[in-house]
Amino acid sequence: MGKTTVTVNLAYSFYLTGKRVGILDTDIHGPNTAKMLGIEECRLTGSRDGGIEPVYVYPTLKVVSIAFALENKDQPVIWRGPLKMATIKQFLSDVNWGTLDYMIVDSPPGTGDEPLSVCQLIPGLSGAIIVTTPQDLATLDARKSIMFAKQLNVPVIGVIENMSGFSCPHCGGEISILLRGGESKVPIYEYRCTRCGTVSEFLVGVGKKQAKIRCEHCGSMEMEKLFSESHMLKTGAHGLARGGHTCCGREERCSTPPCESGQVCERG
């Protein structure tokens, strides 16, 4: 999906604006944040006060991940739920995070122990960002994640559709590797109750009979839609094609100058 990619890019973006940022990698079974940051050889160390020191990417960008506690990168973590929750709790309470402007939590896919532990251990979360790709299977999981956040009273900041396409490095044409529009299958709409004025977010189904929307405060069904467009963010993972570009026909090995769209060029 690209959740770790989004996490790292968000963290760097905040860091570059002068903010103090912490990254908490809660993916116990597949921690990738250390690899993404190029610091997988680092290890967690203890502090004088008995706490845990995070790994510093920069003075104001800190990271904690189970990857820093493993003997080697191929070592699996075979734990059940209670151990995972205890570890996440320790990362939150025993690590010397210092003063942070933002903490970004990288969670594994789904609605399991790790995201549930984070929601229970961090009261008043600012929000969740749902990362998906355009395929139906991915958007099915994204819808579950949205409902998960809603049931735990965590605001959904937006939905990022990742890997929707890339730009040809030669002609600039955009190519959709996967079908687009996956984010349209996870629409979030705001409704206002005309009786009591409460504003609520609802995940609305697509292509099926709509469930009746009821006010969460007073139970009234007299609801007014505030926005007609889905509340989401979109991004594309742009890269280099393998086996030739559908826009200009070039191959990876091409060494000739950039071509116009539609021109078939020679191999280098």
Q: What is the pLDDT of residue 163?
A: 77
Per the CB < 8 A criterion, the answer to whether 4 and 23 are in contact is no
Tell me the residue length of the chain: 268
Per the CB < 8 A criterion, the answer to whether 113 and 87 are in contact is no
In this prediction, residue 18 has a pLDDT band, given cuts at 50, 70 and 90, of: very high
In this prediction, residue 179 has a pLDDT band, given cuts at 50, 70 and 90, of: low
| CATH code of residue 219 | 2.20.28
104, part of any domain: no
197, part of any domain: yes
57: tokens are 């990417």
With a cut of 50, say whether residue 4 has pLDDT above it: yes
38 vs 143: which has the higher pLDDT = 38
How far is it, in rounded angstroms, from Cα 153 to Cα 188? 15
Q: How does pLDDT run across 63-82, given as a tens digit for each residue?
A: 999 999 998 888 999 999 89
Per the CB < 8 A criterion, the answer to whether 97 and 122 are in contact is no
Arithmetic mean of pLDDT, 140-166: 86
Min mean pLDDT across 3-12, 72-81, 199-208, 251-260 is at 251-260
pLDDT, averaged across the chain: 78
Q: What is the pLDDT of residue 172?
A: 79
Q: What is the pLDDT of residue 16?
A: 96
- Residue 234's contacts (CB-CB under 8 Å, 6 or more residues apart) are 160, 161, 164, 183
- Residue 199's contacts (CB-CB under 8 Å, 6 or more residues apart) are 190, 191, 192, 193, 226
239 vs 127: which has the higher pLDDT = 127
How far is it, in rounded angstroms, from Cα 67 to Cα 45? 13
Q: What is the dihedral of CA 226, 228, 230, 234, to 10 degrees?
A: -120
Q: Measure Cα distances from 190 to 146, 203, 225 in Å.
A: 14, 9, 6
**Taking the complete model, does pTM exceed 0.85, yes or no?**
no
Q: How does pLDDT run across 108-121, given as a tens digit for each residue?
A: 988 889 999 999 99
Residue 222's domain comprises: 187-229
45, part of any domain: no
Q: How does pLDDT run across 198-210, given as a tens digit for each residue?
A: 876 655 544 434 4
Per the CB < 8 A criterion, the answer to whether 5 and 237 are in contact is yes
Q: How does pLDDT run across 228-246, given as a tens digit for each residue?
A: 434 444 433 333 333 344 4
**How many distinct structural domains can be found in the chain?**
1
220, part of any domain: yes
203, part of any domain: yes
201, part of any domain: yes
Arithmetic mean of pLDDT, 151-171: 84
Arithmetic mean of pLDDT, 142-156: 89
Task: With H, G, I as helix, E, B as strand and everything else as coil, classify residue 216.
Answer: coil
192, part of any domain: yes
The helix or strand, by DSSP H or E, that contains position 114, with its residue range, turns out to be helix 113-121
219, part of any domain: yes
In this prediction, residue 188 has a pLDDT band, given cuts at 50, 70 and 90, of: low
